[in-house]
């Protein structure tokens, strides 16, 4: 089986073709991966940044998100069958850093880290959404936005920020999404999500990173960069 792995802290990540096909446990699904993503944590693991913080079991397969098709279902699996289109993510450690989704075949537990892929979501989108979306959801839940709230989303054009913008807009908040001119176009086009439960009344407000007299940007934003 092919997978993209980190084989030691002293080597660079690379493609291997000699990994054994994972054996399915009773409550597990064997999923053939069709799409995945690159999140900051993948770069951290690939660069050995978690060394000393979490145990690593080499070879470490990189990648967290996935979308794919169930190839085998364990004997105790009830909710999924061979051929089902699924998506989800693997935690970065379980408890060692070892499993990842940049592989042809992965094992997932039917009880967590897996859901059916809606027909309306294409595999590439489903294979990139989970971790960034869950991160944005966690932040959104923690904010507990009240009616009439105004939210500043820094990094609004990124994986996490693009979900945060949509969640806050759907909650009816005024969303300020500063970004470089090239990305404010993307932000303005994204608007509130097309969800049946969305209550958004206005699209997010996207402002350029170059402040003008009328933008709500502070006069001396810390760490401002040149676009
Ligand atoms: N993705 C995840 O699953 C996840 C999970 C947990 C935590 N996080 C953390 O959440 C943060 C965002 O992650 P992400 O996946 O959304 O990253 P990303 O897709 O690379 O997006 C990064 C965002 O930050 C903006 N940005 C980059 N440099 C900036 C600067 N100097 N000043 C202001 N804005 C800047 C980018 O704007 P431009 O597009 O204009 O460059 C972009 O909007 C990171 O700190 C990451 O470690 C991410």
pLDDT digits (tens, 9 = 90+) for 180-194: 766 665 565 555 443
Give the list of residues 6+ apart from residue 71 with CB closer than 8 angstroms, or none: 30, 31, 32, 82, 105
Give residue 135's pLDDT band: very low, low, confident or very high (50, 70, 90): very high
Contact in structure between 87 and 127 (CB atoms under 8 Å): yes
Whether residue 18 is predicted with pLDDT greater than 60 in this model: the reply is yes
More confident residue, 81 or 205: 81
- Check residue 189 and give its pLDDT: 56
How big is the chain by its Cα radius of gyration, in Å? 20
Span of 9-13, 70-74, 119-123, 196-200 with lowest mean pLDDT: 196-200
The CATH code belonging to domain 129-227 is 3.40.50
How many Å lie between the centroid of ligand 1 and the Cα of residue 165? Answer: 13
pTM of the predicted protein model: 0.84
37: Cα within 13 Å, side-chain hemisphere: 25
**What average pLDDT is seen over the chain?**
85
Ligand 1 atom 9, closest CA: 40
Rounded to 5 degrees, φ, ψ at 126 are -65, -30
Q: Which residue ranges make up each domain of the chain?
A: 3-119, 129-227
pLDDT of residue 206 exceeding 70, the answer is no
CA pair distance 51, 124, nearest whole angstrom? 31
- Distance of CA 95 from the midpoint of ligand 1 (Å): 26
Q: How remote is the CA of residue 162 from the centroid of ligand 1, in Å?
A: 10
Mean pLDDT of 52-59: 97
What is 3-119's CATH number, 3.90.180.10, 3.30.2010.10, 2.120.10.80, 3.20.20.410?
3.90.180.10
Q: What is the mean pLDDT of residues 139-148?
A: 91
């Amino acid at each position: 089986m092919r997978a993209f792995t980190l084989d030691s802290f002293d080597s660079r990540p690379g493609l291997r073709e000699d990994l054994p096909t994972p054996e399915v446990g009773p409550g597990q699904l064997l999923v053939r991966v069709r799409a995945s993503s690159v999140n900051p944590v993948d770069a951290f693991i690939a660069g050995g940044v978690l060394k000393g913080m979490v145990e690593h079991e080499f070879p470490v397969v990189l990648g967290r998100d996935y979308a794919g098709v169930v190839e085998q279902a364990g004997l105790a699996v009830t909710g999924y069958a061979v051929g089902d289109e699924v998506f989800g993510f693997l935690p970065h450690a379980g408890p060692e850093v070892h499993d990842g989704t940049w592989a042809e075949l992965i094992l997932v537990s039917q009880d967590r880290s897996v859901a059916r892929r809606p027909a309306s979501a294409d595999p590439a989108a489903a294979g990139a959404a989970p971790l960034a979306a869950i991160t944005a959801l966690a932040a959104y839940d923690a904010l507990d936005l009240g009616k009439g709230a105004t939210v500043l989303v820094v990094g609004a054009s990124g994986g996490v920020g693009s979900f945060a913008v949509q969640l806050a807009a759907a909650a009816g908040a005024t969303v300020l999404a500063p970004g470089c001119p090239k990305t404010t176009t993307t932000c303005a086009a994204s608007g509130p999500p097309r969800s049946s439960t969305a209550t958004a009344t206005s699209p997010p407000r996207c402002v350029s990173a170059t402040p003008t007299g009328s933008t709500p940007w502070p006069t001396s934003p810390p760490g401002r960069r040149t676009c």
